[in-house]
Amino acid sequence: MCGIVGFTGKNNAAAFLLDGLQKLEYRGYDSAGIAVLGDGNFDIQKTVGRIKSLKDKTENGNTVIGNIGIGHTRWATHGVPSIENAHPHSSENGLFAVVHNGIIENYVALKEELKSEGVKFVSETDTEVVPHLLAKYYNGDIKSTLKKVLSMLEGSFALGIICKDYPDTLIAAKKFSPLIIGLSKNSNIIASDVTAIASVTKDIVYLEDGEFAFLTPNGATFFDSDANEINKSISKITWDVSAAEKGGFEHFMMKEIFEQPKSVSQTVNGRIKNGNVVFEDFKLTAEKLTLINKIFIVACGSAYHAGMVGKYVIEDMARIPCDVELASEFRYRNPIVDEKTLTIVISQSGETADTLAALNEAKRLGSHTISVVNVVGSSIAKASDDVIYTWAGPEIAVATTKGYSTQVAVMYLFAAWCAKALGTMKDSEIADFLQEVKSIPEKIEEVLLQKDKLKEMAKKQVNTSSLFFIGRNLDYAISLEASLKLKEISYIHSEAYAAGELKHGTISLIEDGVTVIALSCYKDLTDKTLSNIKEVKARGAFVITCTQNGDTDFEKESDEMIYIPKIDKRLIASLEVIPFQIYSYYVSYHKGLDIDKPRNLAKSVTVE
Ligand code: F6R
């Protein structure tokens, strides 16, 4: 996730900027840069890679002279990690320099308009529209210019801006991305979180969405979105700053679980336009899709489970046969693939060795390839014909949560895109479906409210050695992910079964006290799953059932219940997985295990 810092004061700005950026390193980044205004000119220094090399390049900031500046760590979203794409970005007339965290969702339209007016862009970023817009609308009055430009930006942003005409004024603006202002005697500063501020001051101001601020070395002035001056109260940093990098959570995994509403909305919102899905720069056209007679989804681990959800939803909506394969199997089994096959590979890291090899195998056999990847510029992204990025932000906990959720969200978008291209659904049905997709983030928020209840429930599994998840259709696909989550971080043996398969063998393992977790949210099949629950209950199982609000039929047969909000049955994965991420987290927590780094596992599996 990008990080922002900014400084205006009596000392040299660069030293604070570089130290501040180093404190934001934990957020994940691939490039960094600073811009300092001194002697009427910006000195902009950038690097691909670590802050350390920026420090070396500038002799710890000593060669960059000036008392006001902005800095940025970039986690690539629009455009690969490179010097051109690294922030700060500046306007052609050299008047403005800008750092940005978030996504400007309407940047394509803004960029096209600016380009048609002759503006030359040097980066592939969404951010670069901001300095160009500021330059375009600048009328000598920075406040009205800012009001105008901010009102044009859709999506999310935290912005740090400096302007040559205001040589001691640091400008901060925020909408849906974090930004904190620190006030002190000799300097005023901004940063994405308190870790970068706490060593300078404990007095902070939280900007609300839509607000902006002008900071000088002597004070700060705050404005609402209509540019009316407002008063803001000063808060004190009282909490443990080392916890700030985890956003106040004890572990990255829980922080990332709670980031899911934002990650999903970042992944879907900008791509849903007028009731349809738009994938930028997509080489697969609707026409080409009509020639495809089979889809392979290939991935490993949780990404494979996201692919399972994709299979159910794509087949249901677009009526194309779709197989999901483990990459380690696909790559060696001489699969039947030709130019009429579409291959989708899914990978959070974009570096998984088996997935990359499977992708190359599909390409060699003539298939068009699409990757669903979280890391811009990763090997898998570079090797595939098309990329659909999941905009989850960096995932640090080994067990994926927001990675999976955003992969599943992309599956919905792709299914809707195919349904439109192939005419398998009416436009109005697709628009309704996408409207439901947009409701996912707020419904995830509702599920997250059950955290404390799940913490209590999880205590009962601390001494469990083996348990089972069961479900049908999408509930089964989600069972696979729920089961993996639990086993990888709690070390409890867990298996996921298609509920109808139980009586073909596994039911012999059910005896008094064995926990069976039944997932039963897929509307058309809840009666069938209820019968399976009765079967295991009759053999002494301890049953936990997850179903949709209002479906109380299960209560009689279950020892514990988890409810999720009602949603279109094709979208249940996005809600139903959340309680089990939290539940798994707490089983591991109660057992005192290393939640963020479970034994024997690596975040990125770059060997087969
Ligand atoms: C489980 C988990 C792994 C990954 C798998 C693929 O929580 O994180 O199962 O899903 O190793 O990794 P990527 O998505 O990076 O290819």
Helix, strand or coil for residue 163? strand
Q: Are 554 and 561 in contact (CB under 8 A)?
A: yes
Ligand 1 atom nearest the C-alpha of 399 is 7
Distance 300 CA to ligand 1 centre (A): 6
Helix, strand or coil for residue 165? coil
- Give the per-residue pLDDT at 376: 83
Q: Give the residue among 240, 157, 158, 162 at the shortest CA–CA distance from 192.
A: 158
- Give the per-residue pLDDT at 466: 94
State the amino acid at position 463 in one-letter form: N
Sign of the CA dihedral with 566 first, then 569, 571, and 575 last? positive
Ligand 1 atom nearest the C-alpha of 485 is 7
Strands (E), 52-211: 68-74, 89-90, 96-104, 155-163, 170-175, 180-183, 187-191, 203-206
Tell me how far CA of residue 440 lies from CA of 60, 374, 411, 427, in angstroms: 45, 19, 14, 20
State both tokens at 188: 């005023």
Q: In what order do the strands lie in the sheet with 560-564?
A: 493-498, 466-471, 515-519, 542-548, 560-564
Strands (E), 410-553: 466-471, 493-498, 515-519, 542-548
Helix (H), strand (E) counts: the chain: 18, 27
Distance 94 CA to ligand 1 centre (A): 44
Sign of the CA dihedral with 409 first, then 343, 287, and 116 last? positive
Distance 347 CA to ligand 1 centre (A): 7
Ligand 1, residues 400, 411, 577, 597: which to mutate, most atoms within 8 A of Cβ?
400
- Give the per-residue pLDDT at 133: 98
Tell me how far CA of residue 47 lies from CA of 71, 81, 97, 124, 341, in angstroms: 12, 10, 17, 16, 41
Strands (E), 39-175: 41-48, 68-74, 89-90, 96-104, 155-163, 170-175
Q: How far apart are the C-alpha atoms of 15 and 204, rounded to whole Å?
A: 20
Ligand 1 and 352: CB distance under 6 A: yes
Distance 297 CA to ligand 1 centre (A): 15
Q: How far apart are the C-alpha atoms of 177 and 154, rounded to whole Å?
A: 12
Ligand 1 and 22: CB distance under 6 A: no
Ligand 1, residues 252, 253, 260, 300: which to mutate, most atoms within 8 A of Cβ?
300
DSSP 554: G
Distance 99 CA to ligand 1 centre (A): 32
Mapped to the 3 state alphabet, what secondary structure does 462-498 carry?
A: CCCCEEEEEECCHHHHHHHHHHHHHHHHHCCEEEEEE
Distance 131 CA to ligand 1 centre (A): 38
- Give the per-residue pLDDT at 278: 96
- Give the per-residue pLDDT at 241: 65
Residue nearest to atom 5 of ligand 1 (CA): 301
Ligand 1 atom nearest the C-alpha of 299 is 16
Residue nearest to atom 3 of ligand 1 (CA): 301
Ligand 1 and 519: CB distance under 6 A: no
- To the nearest 10 degrees (0 to 180), the angle between helices 572-590 and 474-490 is 20
- Give the per-residue pLDDT at 603: 74
Place of tokens 């001494």: 463
Ligand 1 and 307: CB distance under 6 A: no
Q: Are 583 and 478 in contact (CB under 8 A)?
A: no
Ligand 1 atom nearest the C-alpha of 352 is 16
Ligand 1, residues 297, 302, 308: which to mutate, most atoms within 8 A of Cβ?
302
Distance 302 CA to ligand 1 centre (A): 5
- Give the per-residue pLDDT at 608: 65
Ligand 1 atom nearest the C-alpha of 604 is 15
- Give the per-residue pLDDT at 238: 65
Q: How far apart are the C-alpha atoms of 204 and 77, rounded to whole Å?
A: 29
Residues of the chain with pLDDT under 70: 1, 238-244, 606-608
How much is the pTM?
0.81
Ligand 1 and 595: CB distance under 6 A: no
Contacts of residue 287, defined as CB under 8 A and 6 or more positions apart, other chains included, come to none
Residue 319: count other Cβ atoms within 10 Å of its Cβ.
13
Give catalytic residues, as residue numbers: 2, 603
Sign of the CA dihedral with 447 first, then 451, 456, and 462 last? positive
Buried b (16+ CB within 10 A) or exposed e, 8-43: bbeebbbbbbbbbbbbbbbbbbbbbbbbbbbeeebb
- Give the per-residue pLDDT at 244: 66
Which residues lie across from 5 on neighbouring strands?
71, 191
For 116-174, how does the pLDDT look when each residue is reduced to its tens digit (9 = 90+)?
999 999 999 999 999 999 999 999 999 999 999 999 999 989 999 999 999 999 999 99
